Structure 1
Amino acid sequence: MKLSELLNGHDHQVVRGDKDVLITAAPCLDADRVTTGSLYVARPGHPTGGVEGIGTALARGAVAVLVEDEVPDGTWPDTADVRVVRVIDTRTAVALASVRFHGEPGRGMDVVAITGTNGKTSVSSMYESLLRISKRARVGVIGTSGARTGDDRIPMPRSVLSTPEAPDLQYLLARMRARGCDSVVLEATSMGLLNHRVDGSFVDVGVFTNLSQDHLDDHGTMDSYRDAKLLLFGGMCRRAVVNADDPVGAGIPALMPGAVTTYAIDAEADYRATDLVVDASGTRFVLHHDGRKYPAAIPVPGRFSVSNALAALAACHVLGHDLGGLLAALERMPQIPGRFEHFGTPDGVSVIVDYAHSPDSLDKVLATIRGFAPGRVITVFGCGGDRDTTKRAWMGEIAGTYSDLCVLTSDNPRYEDPETIMDQVAQGLRKTGTAFEREGDRHRAIALALSRAREGDVVLVAGKGSEAYQIVGDDLLPFDDMSTVRELSPA
């Protein structure tokens, strides 16, 4: 496709060469991933690109470069036949170019995008399971755990982004369309929306789960964080499914009159759950929809799990799938890796691995466990580095309030000193008077918690869920919470 076709209708200025050059390889933000025939997008601030990557990109075969700013003298080799185009915002331009290069892949499938502080991965997995079980549908999933169609993973460069950059997202959508997917469900993070990664994805249903304090290191204020989430409902999706129990969710119908479906437990809604009965094996409830009542159950304990199930159920039903088949599938859903994932040890201890890494999610998970635990509750957790520091003592207080014993450990310290992070979390723990121990090595911390547990106790390992790594500085070190639990609890 010609560069002029990729940018047609988008404000741009030709700085060097002409724009009729043929682009034969996908647009690329990473200089070291450029291949012959690529359009290299020099986005300012990109960790493996930007203006500094132009030389590498040209050496690897880029035939055109997209820039925002003036490029320093000496950047372009005298012998290079390069086309250079300047745009106001490379983020929006690369999204448009990627969508067009891959042939607008979102048009050929039902695309569901889920945003909110908590529940994105759970709702995504539930949505896929409902369609897979009830319709034997092939569903693409893109999010925190990577990208896959069914059980087949799509190889991608290692990344910590739940919402991939626009070139990668459109590539994944194209692959999923080629694999015969009927639908794709993706996690739309606040930064993903703010950075235009989801632009042009032809989202059929946008789902809003909830909003609570998190990511203030990125957004500064809760208002800015909220506004980033709401971008999904400002013309990016055709219809919305929103949590009416959440104040922000309750306001979304005003943004999209006549196009919003609601779900709730407390508030009146199009899909409402009442009469919840929770035990260690799951949750039973009554679904109210369109003037009728339906008995329902999910194999996951907790009120928050029912809320997530309502979101997935509503999204599927809005897209035309049979409600009876969906409810039958709901009871048969498999465990979601790293989301209230259960393991029973030979000694009669229940271990729960969960991604809870914000005050709200930790509170909900621990409240649920406290409600059914026959014995003590032991919590292993920490807080991530280079993230909102104001939640650390708060999370310590939450853990101490619900637990009989806490083991404070390292999460993803990134560039911070793990001991400093634990000092801040410990301030909140001390307020509760709950006994706690410190062990910065996460493997040893989990081992310590299991050694303290007795029959009937519940051990929660919180914060990382299904992540297969720990982030220490620039390194992604292999580490998996559930694998560690299984290793330390041989049959």
Structure 2
Amino acid sequence: MKLSELLAGHDHEILRGDPETAITAGICFDAHRVAPGSLFIAVPGHREGGPGAAGPALARGAVAVLVDAGAPDLPASVWTDTDVCVVRVRDTRTTAAVVASRYYGEPGRGMDMVAVTGTNGKTSVSYMVESVLRIAERATVGVIGTAGSRIGDELIPMPRSVLTTPESPDLQYLLGYMRDRDVGTVVLEATSMGLLTHRVDHSYIDIGIFTNLTQDHLDDHGTMENYRDAKLRLFQGLCRRAVVNVDDPVGAGIGALMPGAVTTYALDAEADYRATDLTMDAFGTRFTLHHEGRKYPAAIPVPGRFSVANALATVAACHLLGHDLRGLVGALDRMPPVPGRFERFETPRGTSVIVDYAHSPDSLDKVLSTIRGFARGRIITVFGCGGDRDITKRARMGEIAGTHSDLCVLTSDNPRDEDPGAILDQITPGITATGTPFERLADRRRAIGFALSAAEPEDIVLIAGKGSEPYQIVGEKLLPFSDMATVRELSGRGTGG
């Protein structure tokens, strides 16, 4: 496709070269991913790109470069290469979403698009949407999120990345890939930073789901108000309809942003989809779903009020897309476990182990409160906090773990560039205040081993923070590490237990 076609109707200025240049090899932010015929977008501050990487991008065969106000700082080779077209735009990220969507044929228009945002529940709701549609209607569903991108059980190969919401060129590529394989519905996790940096723009979202807003990511946003506003971008022109949790005060306010286009769900407040009569045990939750004056008996194979809320969001969104409500509700109790979300395992000694992604104060509190509701023995909690992230939540998480647990094991999560010991130092005051005994073992494998060895048959070991992540981020490295695989190995059951 010609560069002029990609930019048609979008403010831009040709600094040099021919705008009729054909883009034949995709769109890149990362210089090392450029191939001959690519469009390189020089996003300021991008780790693998930016204006300073324009030279390497040209050396690898880029035929055009998009820049914004940083254009005068481009390497000299950009101005001396007679074949390259250089275009200045107001903002490279917003332009990237436009041109990437056009390059791949605006693939979001050809599928039912569901985007899930909120502090907690994004991954669980994504898996639930996929599961109920597969079970109820044998639908082909694409999923884009924390665990990567896939169609059913087919993982889509992509460059290694820790971004839950891919950059716009990658996202549009994935949507095009899914459309070309006859995917009917795509569900994607829309993170606050993904929304703030325009990665989801021009994806033609049919339904935006809002789960909740609690403290997290203040390292990125500075204040809860900024964090909230980033989430709310989804409901300010990026989706046609919304499904929102009105038990959450932020969710309750979304109706004012999208008058007449909001469907509500709740456990406590009045809502279009509501749950009552919750009964819970270690293996799941039963409840009654209310909609338009009718009652539907329902069950999910996960304990907890938060899981019921996620189920309501799932059913509401899928019903809005035109799927039969009774079939959707019937599919709920046949859903497979969501990897790393209240994922259960029993050791040969009879100890229950739960692996969960809980990595914020609210999510850790909810998971531990749920476990306390059915635990017959002690609760042993293994957890840490991520490095280079909001430090204000660390002592609070220590307090929550100590309040709900009988023994805690403090360990590394993803330390990134921080000293693991310093992170544990910041967690310690919170747990010390509760009087709960604890151990400090920065090595996560040793910490899990200690917890398993300390547990008696009726105890429950919660391993929180990383869920199904297959790596641990130490410095700039992604080191292979899986909480559940480690549990299986240390319990003597390998991967097949």
TM range, normalised to the smaller chain? Answer: over 0.9
Q: Closer, same or farther in 2 for the Cα pair 1:328/1:2, shift >3 Å?
A: same
Match of 2:72 in 1: 71
Partners of 1:421 and 1:156 in 2: how far apart? 32
What 5-or-longer segments of structure 2 have no aligned partner? none
Match of 2:255 in 1: 253
Match of 2:388 in 1: 386
Match of 1:162 in 2: 164
Match of 2:2 in 1: 2
Match of 1:52 in 2: 52
Match of 1:37 in 2: 37
- 1:254-300 residue CA offsets vs partner (Å, 9 max, x unmatched): 11111100000000000000010010010000111000111100000
Match for residue 329 of structure 2 among 327, 330, 347: 327
Q: TM-score, normalized by length of structure 1?
A: 0.99
CA shift, 1:79, in A, is 4.5
| Kept after mapping to 2: 8 A contact 1:381/1:408 | yes
CA shift, 1:71, in A, is 3.0
SS of the residue aligned with 2:376? coil
Q: How does 1:91-240 map to 2 (within 5 A)?
A: 91-240=93-242
Partners of 1:375 and 1:43 in 2: how far apart? 53
SS of the residue aligned with 2:380? strand
Higher deviation after alignment, 403-412 or 20-29: 20-29
Identity fraction in percent: 72
Match for residue 404 of structure 1 among 398, 406, 413: 406
Match of 2:25 in 1: 25
Partners of 1:79 and 1:91 in 2: how far apart? 24
Residue type of the alignment partner of 2:198: H
Q: How does 1:72-91 map to 2 (within 5 A)?
A: 72=73, 74-76=76-78, 78-91=80-93
Once superposed, what is the RMSD of the aligned Cα atoms?
0.8
SS of the residue aligned with 1:76? helix
Q: How does 1:264-283 map to 2 (within 5 A)?
A: 264-283=266-285
Residue type of the alignment partner of 1:71: P
2:296 paired with 1:294: yes
Residue type of the alignment partner of 1:12: H
CA shift, 1:490, in A, is 1.7
CA shift, 1:75, in A, is 3.6
Higher deviation after alignment, 62-71 or 380-389: 62-71
- 1:451-477 residue CA offsets vs partner (Å, 9 max, x unmatched): 000011100000000001010110000
Partners of 2:354 and 2:345 in 1: how far apart? 7
- Structure 1 segments, 4+ long, off by >2 Å, are 70-73, 75-80
SS of the residue aligned with 2:22? coil
CA shift, 1:74, in A, is 1.8
Partners of 1:71 and 1:172 in 2: how far apart? 33
Q: How does 1:357-372 map to 2 (within 5 A)?
A: 357-372=359-374
SS of the residue aligned with 1:25? coil
2:449 paired with 1:447: yes
Match of 1:307 in 2: 309
Partners of 1:243 and 1:362 in 2: how far apart? 19
Partners of 1:168 and 1:344 in 2: how far apart? 39
Partners of 1:317 and 1:391 in 2: how far apart? 37
Q: How does 1:329-478 map to 2 (within 5 A)?
A: 329-478=331-480
| Kept after mapping to 1: 8 A contact 2:51/2:71 | no
SS of the residue aligned with 2:94? helix
Higher deviation after alignment, 80-89 or 162-171: 80-89
| Kept after mapping to 2: 8 A contact 1:51/1:71 | no
Match of 1:16 in 2: 16
Higher deviation after alignment, 406-415 or 15-24: 15-24
CA shift, 1:179, in A, is 1.1
SS of the residue aligned with 1:286? strand
| Kept after mapping to 1: 8 A contact 2:17/2:82 | no
Partners of 1:70 and 1:235 in 2: how far apart? 30
Residue type of the alignment partner of 1:272: R
Partners of 1:28 and 1:470 in 2: how far apart? 26
Residue type of the alignment partner of 1:42: A
Residue type of the alignment partner of 2:22: L
Residue-pair matches, total: 491
Q: TM-score, normalized by length of structure 2?
A: 0.98
CA shift, 1:32, in A, is 0.4
What 5-or-longer segments of structure 1 have no aligned partner? none
